[in-house]
Amino acid sequence: MARSKSSLTQVLLSWYSQNGRQLPWRKTKDPYAIWISEIMLQQTRAEVVIPYYERFLQAFPTVQALAQAPLDTVLRLWEGLGYYSRARNLHRAAKQIVRHGGTFPRDAKEWKELPGIGPYTAAALAAIVNGQDAIALDANLLRVGARLFGERGIVTSPVVRKRIERRFLELLPPGKAGTFNQALMDLGATVCLPRNPRCEACPLRRFCVAQATGQQEKIPVRARRRVRPHKQFIAAVLQDERGRLLLVRQADRGIWGGLWTLPYVEARSWREARPKLEAITGTRMKRTAGRSPYSITHTFTHFTATYTAIPAIPTTRVRHGRWVRPEQPNLAVPVPHRKLLQAFSRGGFGAIPHARTPSNP
């Protein structure tokens, strides 16, 4: 049995040495750069992350540079990558690291003390940065492990996750946790795919229970997906005499904490939304007669949303928010609101009357 485990591990590491993905964060031993990559890779594919990673490190080459940067600048560079709490937590963690002399954590326990780092990311960083014998059990490793070991339980359950982790720890070669974890990640990302796994190209096929029993498409077993709810939001499109649109900054907490958006609320009609929009902007407003609203739909992890932007005219002084050029707001704006600004720039709303009341500079 020990010989079989040793053989499996050797085959995997040999495959990885020849077929591992050439990713920029694998070309450095800098804990700062590796930490940035692992946070960006949370729930985001590597090919999407690469350009963001490179721009981010160019702007903030050290943890000190990140800690000293304004949060608005950090969020602006993160724009489009989604899950903005990651950027806010990175900024907070950078300040925490700098307060402690710029020293990075030494093991998984210390990594978990930083904002935004849970068990998986802590294990990944401990393995790759610190060489600690740990298993970073992400979706790829869960899928590979479930098929490899023939796991028939629901793969997201704590008991099954622990069982797969324990089996991988038995295979882990001491002192090579970083390479071992990344080899499994690449196997899951390029060969042991969620659908139509490429079993013919898999180096571990002779060790795989799912392959031997023809269960590749049935494993891993997942809990039944819940129906994704749908939400409706109403946004006000207010324009000043210089052709600028009003954006408001979201509170630091929440899905878009610290980002700038059109004034918007969850509502099904203008009548329901208007009092709330007036409270957000500090102005009375009325809907523009004869102008059509503009809607887009956006998919989040746990729900879908329709954002309907309605042209409106402020009838009193606007007290909250910032006026920006819609084609170049130079602020961190989440994707749905960026799309609405782009639609306005292209004339998607038709002509919108300018505000005739005093506006903020």
What is residue 355's DSSP assignment?
Answer: P
Is residue 165 annotated as a catalytic residue, yes or no?
no
What stretch of H or E contains 304? strand 304-314
Tokens of 155: 């793969």
Annotated catalytic residue within 38, 151, 165, 278: 38
Neighbours of 300 (CB within 10 A): 13
Rounded Cα gap, residues 5 and 28, in angstroms:
30
Give yes or no for a contact between 121 and 39, defined as CB atoms under 8 angstroms apart.
yes
Q: Cα-atom radius of gyration of the chain, to the nearest Å?
A: 25
Give yes or no for a contact between 241 and 354, defined as CB atoms under 8 angstroms apart.
yes
Three-class secondary structure of residue 126 per DSSP: helix
Count, residues in the chain: 361
Rounded Cα gap, residues 27 and 53, in angstroms:
13
Supply the angle between the helices 31-40 and 46-59 in degrees, to the nearest 10: 140
The CA-based dihedral angle spanning residues 316, 317, 321, 326, taken in that order and rounded to the nearest 10 degrees: 80
Rounded Cα gap, residues 270 and 242, in angstroms:
25
Give yes or no for a contact between 337 and 235, defined as CB atoms under 8 angstroms apart.
yes
Helices and strands (H and E) in the chain: how many: 14, 8
Q: Which residues participate in catalysis according to the annotation? A: 38
